[in-house]
A and B are shown apart, each in its own frame.
Chain A
Amino acid sequence: VLTQSPGTLSLSPGETATLSCRASQTLSSSYLAWYQQKPGQAPRLLIYGASTRATGIPDRFSGSGSGTDFTLTINRLEPEDFAVYYCGQYGSSLLAFGGGTRLEIK
């Protein structure tokens, strides 16, 4: 089980967002990914292996963490960054997602 916090984060452009994903059991960081979803669109891969940016993802997005605690940090928020963010975990014969963090404009 993946638990994301906060549920909603209200920030202004230019600020830094810190999103948390906590796993109920220790997991390999290579199995943890972050996705961004905008209204009416499919999720988009941002980070895999807990900290590796996917192709084309700006360096203001960074991931960190290990064990049970993982963090997605978005520096210098741009207007297009306001969306819902999910962490996802690959496991033995399964895939699981957190409940999401909605990043909204303050």
Chain B
Amino acid sequence: QLQLQQSGPGLVKPSQTLSLTCVISGGRVSSNSATWTWIRQSPSRGLEWLGWAYYRSRWDTDYAVSMKSRITITPDTSKNQFSLHLTSVTPEDTAVYYCGRLMSEPVPWGSNYYHYIDVWGSGTTVTVSS
């Protein structure tokens, strides 16, 4: 049973970098069928996808357009974890941040794939304030 354990500070000052880590147990960060994602949730924005990293013979990432200039998601195979770095934060970045595993599973018929987040971290409440 795969589990995700989140860690990181709950308070970040404006203009600084928000960094969170998600440690994977019961699975490998370099799995070819998993995509490691970060999502945040706030009353004003709801559930908001931030980006993901995945390994398919090499590492690759995708980021939400709204985050692209500030976000980096980095895997660490030696520690079996992945991290979120969000630079130049403002109070608008105050939210609960979740890490998650997006699974990609072949549909039994045809050539398509199912994609769904089947494992979530417990969430980290991050407040951006001086």
Contacts and interface: CB of A to CB of B under 8 A. Distances in A.
B116 A45 contact: yes
Contact of B117 (A28, A35, A96, A100): A35
Interface stretch (A9-17, A64-72, A75-83, A86-94): A86-94
Contacts, number: 61
Contact of A100 (B39, B46, B120): B46
Nearest to A35: B117
Nearest to A89: B115
Contacts of B11: none
B39 A95 contact: yes
Interface of B is mostly: strand
Binding site secondary structure of chain A: strand
B62 interface: yes
A36 to B, nearest CB: 11
Contacts of A41: 122
Contacts of B48: 97
Given A48-B116, A88-B117, A95 B98 contact: no
- Max chain A Cβ within 10 angstroms of own Cβ: one of B37, B46, B62, B123: B46
> Which 5 pairs across A and B sit closest by C-beta, in order of nearness?
A90-B115, A48-B116, A42-B120, A95-B49, A97-B47
